[in-house]
Structure 1
Amino acid sequence: MRKIREILRLKWEVGLSARQIARSLSISHSTVLDMLRRFECSGLSWPLPNIDDAELEAKLYPGNPQGLVERPLPDMAYIHRELARKGVTLQLLWWEYKQNHPDGLQYSQFCQRYRQWRSKLDVVLRQPHRAGEQMQVDFAGDTVPIHDRETGEVWQAPIFVAVLPASNYTFAKAYPAQDLRSWIKAHCDALEFFGGVPEIIVPDNPKAGVTRACRYEPDLNPAYQEMAAHYGAAVIPARPRSPRDKAKVENAVLVVERWILAALRNHTFFSLHDANRAIREAVARLNDRPFQKLEGTRRSLYETLDKPALRPLPPQRYEFAEWRKAKVNLDYHVEVDRNYYSVPYPLVGETVDIRLTDGLVEILHRGKRVACHPRATGRGRSVTQIQHMPASHRRHREWTPSKLRRWAESVGPHTAQLVVTILEEKPHPEQGFRSCLGIIHLARKYGSDRLEAAAARACAARTFSYSSVKSILAHNLDQAPLPGPPDNQATPVHPNLRGPDYYAGGGP
């Protein structure tokens, strides 16, 4: 469903044509047209209302009762032979095919099947570049050595290069690594350097940006795709082992290596900041250097061609977010970096998407956000929202020792004495806490008056426990009168009774 939403966004927000959308998402042109047709027939409008992926799928695919129909396939070898004859076209061959097979393939599928079958020669195509249409990006092969003043160690900083093909206006900057965070940050810096957003970003197939490289259907990293959506651009990766798909940035990488990195080869840099300051000055000189065979410079062409055609930057810079997947545990929490975050308990056992920023943890299920937490520091911490708990857990969580005492005092003095004694005498606080919750359950079952009478009998017998109160109520002993105090009267005087003097004297 993520590609479906991306098709709709590229059509209605970015304004790309169906063929450009198909190239961006590496899907067929007919699939894009079919999706747009389904969207128009669904009665939905853009931007989409607040619906999850299941509702969107039900709107777009209400069902096909007729099912799939097997269509007869054309003879590809015959088509290939006939096309070699003068004047024969694919449209003519399709028309003849439909005469023999009225239920056969439509024209677009007919052409696509043939192109997949045919072994096509690799022909070099000189591509004209429209102003503001593309930004081609890549990491240079060479790096900049950074020296550590304290240890003397040297580490290599990779160089990110971006270029606008129409003007050859170039951006270059060193970064700590070629990981996802540096990849996203480099794109944001390049767009701010150019002062606008192109329609299409053309990268290579690095692991940071493309999770699965494929000639036909590459999968973008969700964070990379989210960054492109934030700026309103489409990402169309170059085909694997096809450098001519991004020939301008390949040439820009050579220029940066020869005119910037080679020129700085004798400089010693002790920080990334110092290296980038020197690279920034060298890039400015490169963009201001006159062309050899054309009039003007990269900067002058950028000012007249690319800059007016670029789309404006969004009000806020993209905040880097990392995407992960996790399964909801039995305790309705998901684990992120050894910390645990709650989700609504009905999602136990479901797989959810997790979006991580520096300060937030967002949890999504089927495209719909179900939880949002502040990101915890350290390890082993649990972040739980009460509304995510089942009702029984929520009631258990809401009780505290002070609240238990206040409740017992509202029932009566003997219940208060019973609860306080249980909380103080139990060897572990959790044991006393659970015993008091059991007494609350007895109050709901038998009523507050009977509980107070049972507590009075339990206190008189010095049996401070839940089981004792439960037994008193179960046997209706709370309705019997309490035993009186012990009789402390003196022994009555009687002539037949022998006193202590008798025994002290040794008897008669």
Structure 2
Amino acid sequence: MANTLDPMDLKQIITLHLDGYSNRKIGITLGISRNTVNSYMKLFKACDYSYEELLRFDDPALKELFPSHSTIDNQRYDELMVYFEGVNKARNHPGFTFLHHYQEYAQRAREPYSYTQFMEHYRRKYSKIKGSMKLEHEAGKEMFIDFTGKKLHVVNKETGELVPMEVFVAILPNSQYTYVEACESQKREDLISCCANALRFYGGVPQAIVSDNLKSAVTRASKYEPEINRSFKDFARHYNCVINPTRSYAPQDKALVENAVHLVYQRIYYPMREMTFFSLEELNREIKRLLVNYNTLLFQRKEASRRELFQSVEREYLKPLPSQPYEMKDYKRAKVQKMGYVYFSPDKSYYSVPYRYIGKRTLIHYTRTTVEVYYNHQRIALHKRNPAKGTYITNKEHLSSTHKGYTDWSPEFFENKAAPHGAHVLSCVKKILAATEYPEIGYKRAMGLIQLHKAYGSKRLDSACKRALAADTSSYKRIKNILENNMDKNSLFHQDLEENQTHIPVHQNIRGASAYQ
């Protein structure tokens, strides 16, 4: 089944075209069919935008403009290549014929090639004469990268344990100017960090980064259309270059970096063989010192050093570095919960999204400082990353009107709500809020009290609150009972309270408290 080209691939096609690549070379560099590149270039020319404007488009807009498909079917081709391994082993068997094996293949395959294509693919895979060619490397075109097979070590001060360290090597093939750095692993984060440091060391960006089929660089290896790791592809987009993995089991594709690894063993590993390092920083400091000598050493036949060739020839062909360094980006999938939040598993926390996306499946792009939520390649939320565990990070613009009102609740909010209905209503609300230790309980009672004005009016509510305060109470139930029984309308009661008169009649036989002193 045909695969839709990623918007990043579309931008890489445009970038290479602006760099002067032909359609054929673009197809070879990106592992895409030349016909596919031709089709896209026709679409680019026919549209109303220039190449520079298309590069500034975001991914959803670019995908909507150019929904074309590539025509490569890797599964069908790989199935044929696996079958050829058995065919080639049987070549010297008496009675061997290609037709017999083709008939067997046609019965087994789900979508068999024709006999003509069957033979053509076989001849390409097992040509009789295999040779090698000398590759001419253009200045500023590529940067080869690799990890050494042998590792260096750092000593743990507390345990004395030898901790192995990977060694990253990068080389510009035209000048053979080399960069070396030790890191903790070959994982994606370390690979991207080392590549960024290498580009900063060179002071510019080549047109392509050539890697082997590391798991941290290539998600799915393929001779024609390898699938680049999303983070590594995003790194290349940031630096305005492309990733071009070599063929599997074809070290000749990056022979220079393979040779550079052997030279690193001689010029860097060997001088450090008796040294002991207690941190990665110490190790890289010594590598950097030895690397200066390595790059300034004269070639035997060129009468110039790697550094001199780089500065005099290759440096001017590199693209400028971006203004901001790349920040490592990673990805997680998450479904929007009923509350309107996505669960961010690395920090075990929650981030809000617009409530209309409840129930949708999203992709979270995150760095050390930001968290972005995307739905169908469109960003729907952007938050600063909060490393605290179990927190809810909320943007009030994402909430529905009902939820927004709830988040605004505070003592000041309810006091402002109560004030228009009378001074006694305001006093009751203040007493309710002051009497509860848990704020949310007081908020609910205060809201219930204020809502009574809808059934009885603000004037009666204020009178009922006045009577309740006189009786030293302010509960919602008591005030509601006063209103239901029309007790707020008893004017004598209020007059008695106001005049502070007792309900006991005056009589000469009744003595007061003074008679019992």
Q: State the TM-score, normalizing by the size of structure 1.
A: 0.77
Superposition deviation, residue 187 in structure 1:
0.6
Letter in 2 for 1:47: E
8 Å Cα contact 1:8-1:36 kept in structure 2: no
Matched, 1:7 2:15: no
Q: 2:149 aligns to what SS in structure 1?
A: strand
8 Å Cα contact 1:326-1:354 kept in structure 2: yes
Superposition deviation, residue 24 in structure 1:
4.6
Q: 2:364 aligns to what SS in structure 1?
A: strand
Distance verdict in 2 for CA 1:363–1:444, change over 3 Å: farther
Letter in 2 for 1:319: E
Alpha-carbon separation, structure 2, partners of 1:36 and 1:113: 31
Superposition deviation, residue 262 in structure 1:
2.7
Aligned to 2:226: 218
- 5 Å-filtered alignment, 1:22-421, equals 22-45=27-50, 46-48=52-54, 55-61=61-67, 119-121=124-126, 123-126=130-133, 127-336=135-344, 337-421=347-431
Q: Which moved more, 1:156-165 or 1:460-469?
A: 460-469
8 Å Cα contact 2:8-2:237 kept in structure 1: no
Q: Deviations over 1:274-320 (max 9, x none)?
A: 22222223222222333345543323332343222222222332222
Letter in 2 for 1:8: K
Alpha-carbon separation, structure 2, partners of 1:125 and 1:472: 101
Q: Deviations over 1:416-442 (max 9, x none)?
A: 232123223446432221222334444
Aligned to 1:97: none
> Which of the numbers 494, 503, 512 marks the counterpart of 1:488?
503
8 Å Cα contact 2:12-2:241 kept in structure 1: no
Q: 1:216 aligns to what SS in structure 2?
A: coil
Structure 1 gaps, min length 5: 64-110, 494-498, 501-508
Distance verdict in 2 for CA 1:55–1:355, change over 3 Å: closer
- 5 Å-filtered alignment, 1:419-430, equals 419-426=429-436, 428-430=438-440
Distance verdict in 2 for CA 1:305–1:124, change over 3 Å: farther
Letter in 2 for 1:3: D
Q: 2:41 aligns to what SS in structure 1?
A: helix
Q: Deviations over 1:185-218 (max 9, x none)?
A: 1111111222221101011122222233333332
Q: Which moved more, 1:163-172 or 1:477-486?
A: 477-486
- 5 Å-filtered alignment, 1:495-506, equals none
Distance verdict in 2 for CA 1:136–1:433, change over 3 Å: same
Superposition deviation, residue 358 in structure 1:
2.4
Aligned to 1:435: 445
Alpha-carbon separation, structure 2, partners of 1:273 and 1:480: 84
Q: 2:299 aligns to what SS in structure 1?
A: coil
Q: 2:374 aligns to what SS in structure 1?
A: strand
8 Å Cα contact 1:422-1:436 kept in structure 2: yes
Superposition deviation, residue 140 in structure 1:
0.7
Alpha-carbon separation, structure 2, partners of 1:418 and 1:434: 14
8 Å Cα contact 1:160-1:174 kept in structure 2: yes
Alpha-carbon separation, structure 2, partners of 1:224 and 1:61: 23
Aligned to 2:80: none
8 Å Cα contact 2:60-2:378 kept in structure 1: no
Letter in 2 for 1:300: E
Q: State the TM-score, normalizing by the size of structure 2.
A: 0.76
Letter in 1 for 2:324: Q
Aligned length: 448
Alpha-carbon separation, structure 2, partners of 1:490 and 1:468: 29
Superposition deviation, residue 112 in structure 1:
9.3
Alignment RMSD (CA, Å):
3.4
